[in-house]
Amino acid sequence: MNGEKYDYLIVGAGLYGATFARQMKESGKKVLVIDKRPTIGGNVYTENVEGINVHKYGAHIFHTNNKKVWDFVNRFATFNRFTNSPVANFHGELYSLPFNMYTFNKMWGVVTPREAAAKIEEQRKAAGIKEPENLEEQAISLVGTDIYEKLIKGYTEKQWGRPCTELPSFIIKRLPVRFTFDNNYFNALYQGIPVGGYTKMVSNMLEGIEVKVNADYLKNKAEYDSMADHVVYTGPVDAYFGYKLGYLQYRSVRFEKEVLDIPNFQGNAAVNYTDSETPWTRIIEHKWFEFGKDENGKDIQKTVISREYSSEWKPGDEPYYPVNDKKNSDLYQEYRKLADQENGVIFGGRLGEYKYYDMDKVIEEALKISSECIATGC
């Protein structure tokens, strides 16, 4: 540890931390960013394997309707035209995701939107659901029984480790259902992948800012706190308080990466395995995020795939998704009360706020809070 004094110590070099750091640097503040991992970028970290930018912690496709956020990230990267069009594999039957006319045609042989809507309505009525009370009922209300059984049930139960009848209905409300042939999963004005990977983008965001990796804030909290007037903490909020109110729960994700000596494994960036028997939830083939080309625009002859497994989180595992059920939401509110009493500390990001954030939303929030700090001094 050096004896230098900083205006802001930012714990975590992910998107929230990097955005906040950039804003403070440009407002003339002295900033130190630290991260427990040996890398920057948080869960958007990409590593180059065989000329392919591999999304180490799972697929990340940037999408937003916020022009301010889009302009901000484009300062640090050039984005390609990648469009998220995942495919569902049910025992070798391939279906389009999001659910659209391609899906309905393959499932039922219907050709027109009217026929597809009539089929869904028929199945909805047969199920007798008035007000959906859980994910299963919500899904059947949206797309009918056949699509629920083949394309939603097995995948969702693997992902969350719970029966669909025990999951809240709101989880499935984000799912796109279209009576068109639009294969774009997201309804966003702006979408793409940063050319050269997310690590390069975050590195550009942190240019000119002091960064220390392999730095464990909580192990040396008193020393780090003494180095700065303000702390921005993006780690797990329960860990900050020594888990004294108990552990918040997460879903965790495990990846099995494989380099294959073939140019094309599945022909798409993401294929979801929606049956309950296949142990993985999906396979990512990373080269298709950048159209199978290397940085010089040449075809890459090998490929890298990641099989993704969802699992229950336990202390020591990498936390990914908050489990936003009543028990955990109530516990978070108790931690939030403690956080609000911490002078000079801002809790931000997915782990600091125990909140599911898309990438654009976490940047939007970091821009908002940092702007308030610049205006008022936090």
Q: Helix, strand, or coil here: 219?
A: helix
**Residuewise pLDDT in 10s, the chain (378 residues):** 667 899 999 999 999 999 999 999 999 999 999 999 999 999 999 999 999 999 999 999 999 999 999 999 999 999 999 999 999 999 999 999 999 999 999 999 999 999 999 999 999 999 999 899 999 999 999 999 999 999 999 999 999 888 999 988 888 877 789 999 999 999 999 999 999 999 999 999 999 999 999 999 999 999 999 999 999 999 999 999 999 999 999 888 999 999 999 999 999 999 999 999 999 999 999 999 999 999 899 999 999 999 999 988 888 888 888 887 889 999 999 999 999 999 999 999 999 999 989 999 999 999 999 999 999 877
Task: Give the type of residue at 215.
Answer: A
pTM of the full structure = 0.94
174 is catalytic: yes
The predicted structure's pLDDT at residue 168: 85
Name the token pair of 291. Answer: 């159209």
Q: Where in the chain is the domain with CATH 3.40.50.720?
A: 6-82+190-243+322-376
Neighbours of 199 (CB within 10 A): 19
Q: How many CB atoms lie within 10 A of CB 256?
A: 11
- Cβ count within 10 A of residue 192: 21
| Distance between CA atoms of residues 351 and 218, nearest Å | 14
Which tokens hold the place of 94? Answer: 């391939």
Write down the H helix ranges in the chain.
15-26, 67-73, 101-108, 113-127, 135-147, 153-160, 198-205, 221-225, 237-240, 326-340, 349-352, 359-376
Give the length of the chain.
378
Annotation marks residue 321 as catalytic = no
Rg (CA), the chain: 22
- CA nearest 15: which of 204, 190, 191? 204
Amino acid at 15: L
- Specify the fold of 6-82+190-243+322-376: Rossmann fold (3.40.50)
Out of 57, 247, 309, 356, which one is annotated catalytic? 356
In the set 35, 45, 251, 335, the catalytic residue is 251
* Whether residue 124 lies in the annotated active site: no
Please tell me which residue in 16, 282, 335, 364 is annotated as part of the active site: 282
Give CA–CA dist 5/55, Å, rounded: 35
Known catalytic residue: 178? Answer: yes
Q: Which of 81, 131, 174, 330 is catalytic?
A: 174
Name residues whose C-beta falls within 8 Å of residue 233's C-beta, 6 or more positions apart in sequence: 11, 12, 217, 240, 345, 346, 347, 348, 352
The answer to whether residues 14 and 234 touch, using CB atoms and an 8 Å cutoff, is yes
Give the CB-side neighbour count of residue 39, counting CA atoms within 13 A. 14
Q: What is the pLDDT of residue 2?
A: 64
Phi/psi at 49 (5° precision):
-130, 115
Sign of the Cα pseudo-torsion (285, 288, 289, 293, in order) = positive
Is 282 an active-site residue?
yes
**Beta-bridge partners for 210:** 32
Residues 44, 231: contact at Cβ < 8 Å? Answer: no
d(CA 122, CA 241): 52
Looking from the CA of 337 toward its CB, the CA atoms found within 13 Å total: 6
The predicted pLDDT at position 316 comes to: 80
DSSP, residue by residue, 322-340:
E--SHHHHHHHHHHHHHHH
